[in-house]
Amino acid sequence: MKKIEAIIRPEKLDDVRIALERAGYPGITITEIEGHGLQKGTVQQWRGEKYKVDFLPKIKVEIVSHDEDAEKIIQAVLQASYTGAVGDGKIFISEVDEVVRIRTRERGDKALV
Amino acid sequence: MADTLWVLVTAILVFFMNLGFGCVEAGFQQSKNCVNILSKNFVVFACSTLAFWFLGWGLMFGDGTPWFGLQGLFMLGGADNSPATGDAYQGVYSAINWTGVPLLAKFFFQLVFAGTAATIVSGSVGGRIKYLSFILFSFLLVGLIYPTVGHWIWGGGWLAKSGMWDFAGSTVVHSVGGWAALAGALILGPRFGKYGPNGKINVIPGHNLSLALIGTFVLWLGWFGFNPGSTMAADPRLISHICVTTNMAACTAILGATIASWILLKKPDFGMTLNGCLAGLVAITAPCAFVSVGSSAVIGFIAGILVVLAVIFFDRVYVDDPVGATAVHLVNGVFGTLCVGLFAEDWVSPNTTGNGLLFGGGAKLLMAQLTGIVAVGIFTFLVAAIFWLLLKYTVGIRVSLQEEIEGLDIGEHGNSAYPDFVIRKPHYSMVSLGNVGSEEEIPEKKSSRRPSYAGKG
C-alpha cells in the first residue's frame, strides 16, 4: 500500500478533488499547512514598515491506496494541480506498513477498500 | 427644551465613541491581548465617571483661580441655579453659565468628553501595561490633569482670558490624551521584540482590521455629537455648519492619508487610511465652529498627510504606539488648535475668535493658540510623566516578559478572546525590509529566520 502525500495550491483543491472523484480513491485526508520550497514568501506592510511572510499557505492531500492504484491517483493529482508557476507543490509517495479499519478491526487490503 | 435635548443626545453619541475606541484599538493589536484592550476601554469610562463626578467637574468648572476651580469641588455639590444663564445665573460654576441647560446635562456632556481623553491613553500603552496601573492612572488623569487643563481653556481660566479658543477640544481632550499617552509609551518602553538590536523596527500587525473599520466608523459617527454638541445649544445654523465642517475634514483627511500612503509606502495602507480619518476629525475639533467649509477641507487634507508622517516618525524614534494614539490625537490635536489661529473667520461664530492669520486677523490669535499648546503640553506631559513614574515605582506599570509573550488576556484577566478559534498565525520573519530595495527583492532565505526574542527594552 502506498501513501500519496500531495502538497498543492489551496486554490487547486476543487480541481484536484474532482479529478480524484473520477479516478476513484479509497479515502482522503486534507490538512491546511504552511511552507515553502523554491517559491519565496510575500512582502506585506503594516503602518509604514514592510515585513516578509516566509511561509505560504498550502493544502496537503493524503491518500492511502493499493499499490496498483497509486499511479492512477498520482496522475489525477498531477494534472489537476498543475499551473506551471513556481509553487505548484510536490507529491511524496511512501510505503504504508499496515492499515486497520476501526469499526470492523479488519487489516490490510480489506481495510483499504 | 431643544437645547437640553441636543446636549443630551450629542453626549450620548460621544459616549458611544468608547465603543469606537475599543474596536479600533483591539483591531490594531494582537489577538492575545484583545480582552485586555477591550477591558481597558470598558473600565476606563467607569473610572472617568467616578473621577469626574468626585472632583474633576469641580476643578474644571468651579469658580476659583485662573488655574483651577476652588468652589463646588466635590460631587457636583456647589450652589447652582442652572438652567439660568448669564446675569440670572447664581452659583459657583459660572464658567459654564452660558448654556441654558440643567446642571446634570452640563455635567453629563462634559463627562463624556473627559472619558474620551482617558480612553486615548489606553491605545499607546497597549500590550504591556498592567491593568491596575492603567486604572489608577485614569483616575489621576480625569480627576486632576484633564480638569486643570480644561479649567484653563473652558473653565474661564487664564488661557481663555488670553484669547485662546478650542471649540470642542483638540487641545483640551485630544492633545491632553495624546501627551499622557506619549508619556506612558515612553516610560513603559516598547513591546518586547518591537525594536531589534541595531535599531531594527519589527512589525506587529493588528489582528482584525474589520474591527478597526467598525471602530473608526463608530468614532466618526460619535464625532457628529462631539463637535456640533459643543454648541450646547440647538442653534440650527451653527450645528449644521459644524456637522459639515466635521465631515469634510474627515473625508479630505481620508484622501490625504490615502495619497500619502500610496506615495510614501507604495500602497494605500488601510491602517493609515483609518488613522487618517481620525486625524482629520481631531484636527477639525478645535476649529469646527470658526472656519469655513472650504477651510475644513484643507485642514483635513493636511491632517491626513500629517498622521501618516507622524506614525512613521514615532516608530523611527522608537516610541512604540501600537494604534497611533500619539500620531492621531497628539500631533493633530496640536495642529487643529493651530488651525484656529490660521483659518478662523469671524462670520462663522461672530465675536469669538475674530479672523485668523490667513483672513486678515494678524498673528494675535495664532500666538494665543501657540501659548496654549505649549503650556498644555508642558503641564500635561510633566504631570502625566510624574504620575506614570509614581505608579512605576510603587505598583509597577509593566507586566512580566513571560506574561507579555503569552498575552495579557491570560495574564491580566485569565480570559481568552477567541478560545474556540483556531488561531493560525503565519510565522513572520521579523525582518524589516524598510530600506531593502523594492518588493521584488526578497532577501535570501538565510537572513529570514524565526523570530528572535532580542528586544531593546
Over 60: is that where the pLDDT of B129 sits?
yes
Within-domain flag for B384? yes
Tell me, yes or no, if B448 comes closer than 8 A to chain A by beta carbon: yes
Q: What domain count does chain B have? A: 1
Torsion, Cα of B25, B29, B31, B35 (10° steps): -40
Within-domain flag for B442? no
Q: How much is the ipTM here?
A: 0.70
> What SS3 class is residue A53?
strand
Within-domain flag for B258? yes
Neighbouring residues of B426: CB distance < 8 A, sequence distance ≥ 6: A34, A53, A54, A55, A57
The full DSSP string for B63-79 is SB-SSSB-SS-STT-S-
Instruction: Give the model confidence (pLDDT) of B253-304 as tens digits.
Output: 999 999 999 999 999 999 999 999 999 999 999 999 999 999 999 999 999 9
Q: A31 has which bridge partners?
A: A60
Residues of A with Cβ-Cβ distance to B429 under 8 angstroms: 41, 51-54
> What SS3 class is residue A92?
strand
Could you tell me which of B333, B328, B329, B341 has the C-alpha nearest to residue B295?
Answer: B341
A45 and B308 within 8 Å at the Cβ level: the answer is no
Tell me, yes or no, if B236 comes closer than 8 A to chain A by beta carbon: no
> What SS3 class is residue A91?
strand
Record the pTM.
0.88
Q: Which of A41, A49, A53 sits opposite B201 (nearest CB)?
A: A49
Could you tell me which of A2, A7, A9, A4 has the C-alpha nearest to residue A83?
Answer: A9
B439 and A55 within 8 Å at the Cβ level: the answer is no
Domain that holds residue B330: 2-392
Over 80: is that where the pLDDT of B106 sits?
yes
Could you tell me which of B209, B370, B227 has the C-alpha nearest to residue B300?
Answer: B227
Q: In this prediction, what percent of chain B has a pLDDT beyond 70?
A: 92
- Mean pLDDT of all residues in A70-75: 96
Contact B172, B149 (CB under 8 A): yes
Instruction: Give the model confidence (pLDDT) of B425-448 as tens digits.
Output: 654 434 344 333 334 433 433 333
Q: What domain count does chain A have? A: 1
Domain that holds residue A50: 2-112
Least Cα separation, residue B454 to chain A (angstroms)? 17
CATH code: domain of residue A28: 3.30.70.120
Q: Which of A32, A45, A57 sits opposite B265 (nearest CB)?
A: A45
Can you list the alpha helix ranges (DSSP code H) found in B266-331?
A: 270-285, 293-316, 325
The amino acid present at B48, given as its one-letter code, is S
- Mean pLDDT of all residues in B104-126: 97
> Average pLDDT of chain B?
92
Cα–Cα distances in angstroms (integers) from residue B56 to residues B140, B155, B200, B264, B323, in the given order: 10, 12, 42, 43, 27
The grid cell for B443 is: 532577501
A47 and B432 within 8 Å at the Cβ level: the answer is no
Residue A26: pLDDT band by 50, 70, 90 thresholds?
A: confident
CA distance B292 to B366: 17
Over 60: is that where the pLDDT of A20 sits?
yes
The amino acid present at B327, given as its one-letter code, is A
Residue B424: pLDDT band by 50, 70, 90 thresholds?
A: low
